[in-house]
Structure 1
Amino acid sequence: MTASLSTKQRVQSIDILRGIIMLIMAVDHTREYFNIGAISTDPSNLATTTPLIFFTRLATHFCAPTFVFLSGLSAYLAGTRRTKGELSGFLLKRGLWLILVEVVLVTFALSLNPLYNAIVLQVIWAIAISMILLALMIKLPLRAIGLIGLAIIASHQLLSTITLVPNSTGDILMKMFFTARGTVFILDKSHFIFDLYAIIPWTGVMFLGYAFGSLYQAKHQQADRKRMLLYVAIFLFAVFVALRFINAYGDPAPWSVQKNGVFTLMSFLSISKYPPSLLFVCLTLSGALLILALTEKSAGKLAGFFKVYGSVPFFYYVLHFYLIRVITIVVFFLQGFKPSQIVTPNNPFLFTPPGFGFSIGWIYLIWLAIILSLYYPCRWFSNYKKTHTQWWLSYL
């Protein structure tokens, strides 16, 4: 979910890109809850995955970095009608609000566990803390913020070589800010925090997005902006291919020749999201920038369809999780599971017993039903936001 900051004059290509990503995102969330064994298996593990599952997961890799990048870009656009101090204050308050949303609303949607035995920190958490850090840095020159973002993206992998005393304060902070990959922080014997998103690597992506926001100033011609976005997209993809091919730097998981060409390609494309490696960011942002460039003048029903979802990202994000979980409850009972199986031992996520779910083909049908059922609610709220000016709308 991209934490968009409302602008009086919305940028069409941004809403289209955001809408595309929102819909792709729902594929992965649907897979996680409805694909048999998804909770306990890694779709990127070449020893156990299939090409369809792998490429389904690969497509959704583009979502989180695009959300974070567009959050930074939107922050810049919001700043064009605010002073630096006002923008800093807004980002700070919005970041704190998003932390509350992640811990209370999203965690409950993920687990349906009213006792909150597991608190899940993922993309909204990363966006929230990154917004707070951007708020603290907002008075720096734009170029400095962009360069800091680039430096973080290019170099944070070096920190993975640092070894600290397990569970020490330094180790916990290192994991939380730099290296978290499904890291579990124990609160007590029955409560823990599940941290998927290391903060600082994602902050680098947001800082870079903030710097790119300057391309949308009125002084930049549309053709020049499109050309710049295309050049940067091509450059990032070239960096990805070159560094990945030589297996020297940019991702902690090297690729290797596999049993056939398809699996070798899968190995080549199996890059690290937790935390986002340099190559992960290069590949995903090259795709995002390409779409931004190609949709500058897009019109028609398809573009309008994507814009509906992209104009209300927060609303869609929260709503789609709750819809997914309502459907899991219905399917749980339709598949013959009993109330005694709602809770699975050693699993804080309710209504997900062993054997629950469907094959990957059914996942796509359920996904289509979910996104299409949310179209009219999203269109209604999009129109509501356009015709109302209440202060709280800027937080949604």
Structure 2
Amino acid sequence: MTPASRATGASRVFPPLPQHPDPQAPFVTSWWGNAWIGALEGTSLDAGRLARGRAYAREGHVDTITVAPGRIVAYVHGSRPRPYRAEIRMRTLAPEDWDGFLDAVATEPAHIAALLDKVMPHALVDAAKRSGVQLLPGPGDLVPSCTCPDHGRPCKHAAALTYQTARLLDADPFVLLLLRGGDEQALLDELAQRNAHQAAREQSASAEQNATGGVSLPGTLARDILATAYRPPLPAPLPPPPHPGEPPLLPSLPGAPDPASLEFLATDTASRAHAHLTTGADPFPAADPWHDAVRLAASHPGLTGRRTFSRQFTELARAVDHTPADLARAAAAWRQGGEEGLSVLESPWDPPAGPFDRARGALIAADLPRMTIRGNHLTDAKGTWQLRFGHDGRWYPYQSEPGRDDWWPEGEADADPVGALSTAIGP
């Protein structure tokens, strides 16, 4: 069995790398890291996008990076509040390619020692190439994609991810081998087996040469080494991690659900499971499908929308029998005030006398637009701004294009109506 087949589904998750602010300092120091960057820069036809991607990488805009066979994925923060999901794909090696690579490594002990020291010598790459195995990517071997609207190949977000990946390769060439389809431990196990077979062959040949001289070679039976009568007790359960784990990377298969949609659902499941472990309670125990969809749309970085909607956003809205615009409006209300913000959007009510009645006078005194009353809504004469009073005693600002009666949550809720409207309107 090859390392590629044994490592199916393996992945490694790397936390965000620190900033690399000095533009004069080299981005990477190893020759193989620079070869990776060369494959990126040799493909792109837009030096401007590369420069912006390099700046994003230096400034730490790339979030957690997940490396799996054939793909690298990370969220990259751009100019908008929500990050984009960037991905780099690369062909994995076939089983016969792995055989050629392992043969090239096993025949030279210095290659194994170099890999264990996190170094990829030129001689190893050259030996693999002579066996027909191309380890490092060439121009066109890196296939970028991103959820941003820029159709450049690569866009600045995918370029930033590629530059940050070069830093990972710089520190550990096994990242490249994983991307090619080989798990580090599986590779080392396979090399150990091949070395053992090689040593056994050499030992057998030596024994045959010494047989006529009566020389016996020392040895230990495998059953004596592996046998043990002692089984230690199982360790105590580990404490819950400080943060929820990352979802696994899922392949794109014909007829299967979209992997990006499954990833954000897995992210939410991990968050709820982590809450169970740390608090003993589900943070959203009574959420119906609509409320759950609104919460997901409001909180997950892979979903966004107001006038244009991603495919995942549209599918989420359709699954709960609403339009994407309905879900986008409800998600904005959730971001504004959670469950109460959604209630303010969906459920008008008649507040009692008191703070609600005093709000109009406070707005006039602050030289803000005069408002008319309807239920718990205060609306200006132009139909542009609106304040909605919630059951929690806070004011929720809304905005519409004049005369359209198309109200969207705009700004933060505030216990003071003057503060809520002033913040929404701005200077």
TM-score by structure 2 length? 0.24
What TM-score, normalized by structure 1, do the two folds share?
0.26
Structure ranking higher in strand proportion: 2
